[in-house]
Structures are given as C-alpha cells and as structure tokens.
Structure 1
Amino acid sequence: MTYVTAEQRYIQSLPKYLTLCEHNYVRALKLLPQERQVDQERKVQLGSSTFVVKIDNTAKYTMDISISQEAGHVHSVKPLYLTVRMYHDAKVAEIIHHDFHQRIKPSYAYPNPNMHQKDEKYQLNAFLYDWLVACVENGRAVLNWDVNNGLV
C-alpha cells in the first residue's frame, strides 16, 4: 500500500498580518520628517548606530520611504536597508524591498534556492515592528541646528 502525503502550504493569517502592518504605520509616522515631501529625511540615532528615514516617493494614497543605516555598521553584517510602502487610506505600512533585493513574495516554497523562509514577508515586517518600537521608545532624533539663522 502506498501513502501519499499532502504537502502543507504556508497560509498567512491575514488579520494577524494586517494588525502588524497597522502598528508599523502608526510608529513609522512618528519617524517621518516634519516636511513630508520627496527627498526629505530624518536621522535617528539608536545606540551607536545612525539611521536615515527618507521619503522616496509620494502619491495621493501611498508613500514610499527608505530606511538605511548610515553609521554604526557591525563588521561582517550588511548595513540595514529597507523600502517601506505606507498606505494612507488603509493606514498600514509594509516592507516592499530589503537590502536592494527584488519584491518580497507573500510566501515561498520551501526549500528554495535562495533559502527564504516560508513566512519571510511576515518575519521582515515583524522585524520592522521591533525596529520601529526601539526607535520610538529609545531613539533620538539627530537635530541639525543652524546657528547662522538664529535658531540657537
């Protein structure tokens, strides 16, 4: 007698994922530059690392921002680079690219040649959530004081 086993496909919990993306949206708004125009940026210092949050593109209902590590690199670890799309109508934010790679698929077959996890998209957005929480609670905005304009 031969048994055939059905391969278990990864099925993402949509309510859990949307809740995560809603939390990311609220926290990402706090890190955006005050002037929300293309090429505006804000620097955030977290520990010995400095990150840049830059507005790459804006549209009526969306905004693409990039988060990159400017200083505080760890030897043998690539500096952080994420592209996050914020959907203002749905009030969610999710990673669409990481480390200059192609778009992230909702799920991956496993095993695969690039060794992506089945739930890689969820894991990356969970990482974004943790990073945003750390920045909002413990980060410091790097202020660019302009002494010549009488601000100080």
Structure 2
Amino acid sequence: MQKEYIQSLPKYITLCERNYLRALKLLPEESLGNSRELHLGAASYQIRIDGIARYTTDIAVVQKQQISAHLDDFALSVRLYHDAKVAEVIHHDFHQRIKPSYRYPNPDMHHKDEKYQLNAFLADWLMACLESGRVPLNWDVNNGLV
C-alpha cells in the first residue's frame, strides 16, 4: 500500500517566507492595477497588483512574450500575507485553486506535492529576476523642465 503524501510544514513555510522577501523587492508601487515589466533572457514578464486588502496583496505574474514554440506562456497568482510575511502561489495558468496535496494518480495528473513545486518554481523565478533580470526605467533626464 502506498503512503499518503505529507508535506513538511516547516520547509514549506520557510520557502514562502523567502518568496515574500524576494517578491517585495520586485513589486511596483503598491496601488491597485500598478505593474512592473521585467526582462529575463529573451522573455518579458509583468508583475501586476490585482488586489489590496488590509493584510494581503494579490499579484499576478504573467509572461508577456513567448520563449519558445514548445513552451506555453505561464501565469501565476500569488498572495502576499503581510501579517505572516509569506507569499504563496494560489493559482497557476488561471486554473482553480491549488490543493495542498493530491492523491496520485488523479484525473488531472497533478503531482502529489504540486503546491510545493509551484512555490519552489516561484522561488527560482524570483531569484533569477533579482540576479539577472532587467527592468526598463522611464527616467525623465530633464526633470520635466523641457
């Protein structure tokens, strides 16, 4: 008989805490609808603020430019919990909410630990953006004098 998957909560919370700190560095000014464009390699991404509440901020991470004909664009919905200082992927590619774990096999072929894997992917993506990403700047070199 196969054992049921049990997620390591300390490992998961640590991952989400690190994602929170990394995400804060990339966020645009916190106002509903504000966005920031990022370039990473040949791909272009947008981080957009979709919702602001007292203790949470919802952001969307959307790929704007396809990297390859063999790879689909991706979109993540991430919720930042400011009171707990964690960030967690709540949707991916506009699908339904992600469960903490799935029985395997399942009709939709989700991995047993899909929620952890998506948050680990977010961690890798945030690190890549912080280390190698580029943000186009709109500087007014004349300070509005011309």
TM-score of the two chains, using structure 2 as the length reference: 0.94
Cα deviation, 1:37-71, whole Å, max 9, x if unaligned, reads: 10000011111111100000000100000000112
- Aligned with residue 10 of structure 1, among 5, 10, 34: 5
Q: Does 1:71 align with 2:53?
A: no
Q: Does 1:58 align with 2:48?
A: no
Question: Which structure has the larger Rg over C-alpha atoms?
Answer: 1
1:145 Cα deviation from its structure 2 partner: 3.7
| CA 75–20 in structure 1, closer or farther in 2 if over 3 Å, else same | same
Equivalent residue runs for 1:38-49 within 5 Å: 38-49=32-43
CA–CA separation in structure 2 for the residues paired with 1:101 and 1:144: 34
1:72 Cα deviation from its structure 2 partner: 3.8
Identical residues among aligned pairs (%): 63
Paired positions, count:
146
TM-score of the two chains, using structure 1 as the length reference: 0.90
- In structure 1, stretches of 5+ residues that fail to align are none
1:76 Cα deviation from its structure 2 partner: 2.9
Query: RMSD between aligned alpha carbons?
Result: 1.7
CA–CA separation in structure 2 for the residues paired with 1:151 and 1:20: 46
Cα deviation, 1:5-63, whole Å, max 9, x if unaligned, reads: 4x311000000000000000000000101x20100000111111111000000001000
